[in-house]
Amino acid sequence: MPAYSAFFSRRWVRLVIALVIVVAVLLLPLALPEFANQTLARIGVFAVAVLGLNVVMGYTGQVSLGQIFFVGLGAYVTAYGVRNDVNIVLVLLASVLIPGIVGLVIALAAARLGGLAIAMVTIALPIVGVPLAKRLSEFTGGSQGTSARFSDAPEWTGLYDDQWQLYIVILIGGIVFLLTRNLVRGKYGRAFAIVKENEAVASSMGISPYRFKVLAFTIASLIGGVSGFLYMVVVQYTSPETLSFGHSIQLLAAMVIGGAGSIVGSLLGGAYYVLAPQLTNAVDPSLTAVLQGALLLLVLFVLPGGLASLPARLQRLRRRAAGGREHHPGAPPTSSTDVPTPAATKGTQTERHDQS
């Protein structure tokens, strides 16, 4: 093991690095301008949404094209609770539990399906959700949408609104990421991986594929609800457009580009979801969809495991290059006088024959 690897494997070194990162994250909102804080907050919102999609697709291998439905549902529940002066803690709980319950009901019916069948079920969620949100105008505001302003910074904090909102996203999003990381690295994560790899093998090991599919889908729905709450914290407005199928596809592309089955990939996916449209619009607004599609294809060809797999890819290339240098050195290992040539060997054999 190289010296630097041994150094960074020490527990106290990892703790110091983690502490430095935490301090940097806490100080970052105070040092950045308003636009940067708002952009980071939106990245955090959709990183949580991508994380939920990663639980059900990246770690368990189910096809889900309706994660944006649960994000929008969480946003609508949040807006309704705020408009009716419900305690914000209860609003947060409701925005998480209601999408989770809806996700559980859908999962109980759909988890026995597979392939295209479950894909059709999840596609139906945003397709049905948009007209439903327009019709339930008493709760959703109809086609005009609804707003809820509740995340202004309290005076006692001395913070600006953008700083306060980013801190909320960091706190709640950080808790969700930590809990999900512990989940996928524990026994449930191992069960998810076995179900994803081979359901027959999972059944032979006493792991119920149906049970863990339902669990994964429900957890993804809960996380989607959290993302919906954070969406209202940052954006403070939602409409039927939030539930559109196009956003669902963009969320799926963000997961693939960030890295399926990766915690870090979820963060990168959230960054892609927010930043890619801004960058492509800056290049040419009329070619936004084309450029995003080209970027997706490029990442899939170069890094099939997403951006999160880049360090491992670079390490493999470095090892391959090092192995090539060992097998093909610049100078020959021995001189020509040390290794007899075939002609010299033949001459020696002739001399021995003459002497005999």
Give dist(CA 126, CA 67) in Å, integer: 8
Residue 170 in domain: yes
Residue 51 in domain: yes
Predicted structure pTM score:
0.85
* Number of domains forming the structure of the chain: 1
Residue 190 in domain: yes
Residue 273 in domain: no
Residue 133 in domain: yes
Q: What is the DSSP string of 168-196?
A: HHHHHHHHHHHHHHHHHTSHHHHHHHHHH
**Which residues, 6 or more positions from 71, have their beta carbon under 8 angstroms from its beta carbon?**
49, 224, 225, 227, 228, 231, 242
Greatest mean pLDDT among 24-28, 35-39, 302-306, 320-324 lies in 35-39
Are 211 and 59 spatial neighbours (Cβ–Cβ below 8 Å)? Answer: no
Helices 245-258 and 288-302 sit at what angle, rounded to 10 degrees? 30
Model pLDDT for residues 215-247, shown as the tens digit of each residue: 999 999 999 999 999 999 999 999 999 998 889
Give the residue from 41, 83, 69, 108 showing the smallest Cα distance to 228.
69
Dihedral (C-alpha) 160, 28, 275, 72: value to the nearest 10 degrees?
Answer: -60
Q: Lowest-confidence range among 88-92, 288-292, 327-331, 343-347? A: 343-347
Q: Residue 350: its pLDDT value, please?
A: 46
Mean pLDDT (the chain, rounded): 85
Domain containing residue 115: 45-249
Residue 88 in domain: yes
Give the residue from 264, 267, 272 showing the smallest Cα distance to 291.
272
Residue 258 in domain: no
**pLDDT band with cut points at 50, 70 and 90 for residue 44:** very high
Model pLDDT for residues 118-170, shown as the tens digit of each residue: 778 888 899 999 999 999 988 899 999 999 989 899 999 899 999 999 999 99
Which of the 8 DSSP states describes residue 334? S
Residue with more model confidence, 122 or 331 = 122
Q: Residue 348: its pLDDT value, please?
A: 46
Q: Residue 328: its pLDDT value, please?
A: 57
260-275: average pLDDT: 93
Residue 128 in domain: yes
Above 70 in pLDDT, residue 195? yes
